[in-house]
Amino acid sequence: MFRSFFAMILAASLLFPGAPKLNKEQRALHAANRLTFGPTTAELAAIQKMGVEKWVDLQLHPERIAENPALAERLKRYASVHMTNAQLMEKYPFRQPAGKGNAANVRLIYTELAETKLLRAVHSNRQLEELLADFWFNHFNVFFDKGFDRMLVTSYERDAIRPHVLGNFKDMVLATAKHPAMLFYLDNWTSVSTDSLDQMRKRFKRKAGAPKRAAGLNENYARELLELHTMGVDNGYTQQDVTEVARCFTGWSIGDLRAGATFKFNALLHDQKEKRVLGQVIPAGRGEEDGLQVIDILVNHPSTAKFVSTKLAQRFVADVPPPALVSKMAAAFSKTRGDLREVMRTMLTSPEFWSPAVYRAKMKMPFEMVASALRATGATIENSNAVQQELKTLGQPLYRKVEPTGYYPFAEEWTNSASLLTRMNLGLALAQNKVRGVRVDLETTLAGKTAPAAVAQALLLHPPAAETLKTLQTDAGTAHVAGLVLGGPEFQRR
């Protein structure tokens, strides 16, 4: 019943092509819903006071926004998130296969990484930047629990993703391509040209010092670079292109993993013969330049402009975005050679983004739902272990998506009955202060309101639907009503 009700109101929200434009209040709420991890009374008031257009422009320039001082102070507690790979390796030694102390070290690193991500999502004043950091990490996904990536993901997000979320797309592709976390995750550090492998075997004659990990050409990174990072699946490349790209990236490797794990180009491993990628010749006799040329070819390909624009529109506008919007965004991408701020600006100033057809029509992913519930209730997070477990139960454990696809933003991925029931249970537990490590003061958040309609209005920040009000007719108390709102269908939409 819960699922059918959600499906009904979600479908209804998509049937407004001829509806009037959003009014002033709706535009403010739409901005808060799509460009933050969930609207709050204070955020909505700030948008209305500043004006939607000025607020959106400010979010596109996070460097102009003073960060929440309480958040900045809190983040100082988490030493590992500020460390380089070398510092992490020194302070929290990691051995593979697993050695003594590994589990405790990994647990601490993951806890601090995941908790700071949650704290930023809930408390940062730079909300769009946080959404984009989540989006782009998902786009260039790596899996925390693969071997040495347990030590590398911290710097990957901090150094390869975050600095570029509103910068140049090519810079982010290059930063991720060279980062040890990606090189390890997709095994490019083991990729060796056939000729180089034969030469190494002859040179070392299997004596001590021979590179044991070398196993020949590995196409994992090349395939995902084409399929997931740039052009998109079946968008103008062939299997031969995958192989040629893989040849171009041989030698893109990692320095000593136990001594800091930095990018290292190893000419000994590189295929120096001529290659051809998407019809363009990669000259023979070169080295690292081959991979750099491939990145340049791919980021400037029309398929990349369309694919990246489509993914952004799917996350921020609609599961099936209007083709006209994608075309405008792709044109901006191509014109600016991948300026992501301008691509976002094109999307956020388009009539399609502000259309009634997409108003409150996107299903929240689990992380968005959890963060928005914490924001709506003004929750105090002492530690996030229980919240992280809830995210795992909901199907979106942070940094732990095994496949390189990342988590999909589509409603159909998250609307199974078990997931919706878990959301309801989480909403009830949160409102009743039954989530360990999290404290909610509903008296303050609701400003003393107890009537079901008033409670719903305070948490949703818009008048609740009649169907919602029917479900709130209970004598179980204000906390129970608040929990029903947080776990109910209307709160799942943004």
Query: What is the SS3 assignment for the chain?
Result: CHHHHHHHHHHHCCCCCCCCCCCHHHHHHHHHHHHCCCCCHHHHHHHHHHCHHHHHHHHCCHHHCCCCHHHHHHHCCCHHHHCCHHHHHHHCCCCCCCCCCHHHHHHHHHHHHHHHHHHHHHHCCCHHHHHHHHHHHHHCCCCCCCCCHHHHHHHHHHHHHHHHCCCEHHHHHHHHHHCHHHHHHCCHHHCCCHHHHHHHHHHHCCCCCCCCCCCCCCCHHHHHHHHHHCCCCCCCCCHHHHHHHHHHCCCEEECCHHHCCCEEECHHHCCCCCEEECCEEECCCCCCHHHHHHHHHHHCCHHHHHHHHHHHHHHHCCCCCCHHHHHHHHHHHHHCCCEHHHHHHHHHCCCCCCCHHHCCCCECCHHHHHHHHHHHCCCEECCCHHHHHHHHHHCCCCCCCCCCCCCCCCHHHCCCHHHHHHHHHHHHHHHCCCCCCEECCHHHHCCCCCCHHHHHHHHHCCCCCHHHHHHCCCCCCHHHHHHHHHHCCHHHEC
pLDDT exceeds cutoff 80 at 198? no
Q: What is the pLDDT of residues 213-252, one digit of tens each?
A: 556 899 999 999 999 999 999 899 999 999 999 999 999 9
Alpha-carbon separation of residue 369 from 364, 397, 480, 488 (angstroms): 5, 13, 18, 11
According to the model, what pLDDT value does residue 371 have? 98
According to the model, what pLDDT value does residue 201 have? 58
Cβ-in-10-Å burial (0-12, 13-18, 19+) of 99 comes to: exposed
According to the model, what pLDDT value does residue 234 have? 87
According to the model, what pLDDT value does residue 58 have? 98
CB atoms within 10 A of CB 152: 26
Whether the upstream peptide bond of residue 97 has omega within 30° of 0, thus cis, is: yes
- 192-197 long-range contacts, Cβ below 8 Å, gap at least 24? 192/216, 192/217, 192/250, 192/269, 193/217, 193/247, 193/250, 193/269, 193/270, 193/271, 193/272, 193/273, 194/271, 195/271, 195/273, 196/250, 196/268, 196/269, 196/270, 196/271
Domain ranges of the chain: 2-16+360-492, 63-182, 186-299
pLDDT exceeds cutoff 80 at 138? yes
According to the model, what pLDDT value does residue 475 have? 85
According to the model, what pLDDT value does residue 101 have? 65
Q: Which of 4-18, 54-68, 308-322 has the lowest mean pLDDT?
A: 4-18
Q: What is the pLDDT of residues 380-398, one digit of tens each?
A: 999 999 999 999 999 999 9
280 DSSP β-pair partners: 277
pLDDT exceeds cutoff 80 at 98? no
pLDDT exceeds cutoff 70 at 96? no
Name which of 163, 170, 165 is nearest 138 in CA terms.
Answer: 165
Question: What's the pLDDT band for 257 if we cut at 50, 70, 90?
Answer: confident
Who's near 402: CB < 8 A, 6+ residues apart?
Answer: 143, 145
Single-letter code of the amino acid located at 147: G
Contact 270, 285 (CB under 8 A): no
Name which of 345, 312, 336 is nearest 326 in CA terms.
Answer: 312
CB atoms within 10 A of CB 44: 19
pLDDT exceeds cutoff 80 at 361? yes
Question: What's the pLDDT band for 208 if we cut at 50, 70, 90?
Answer: very low
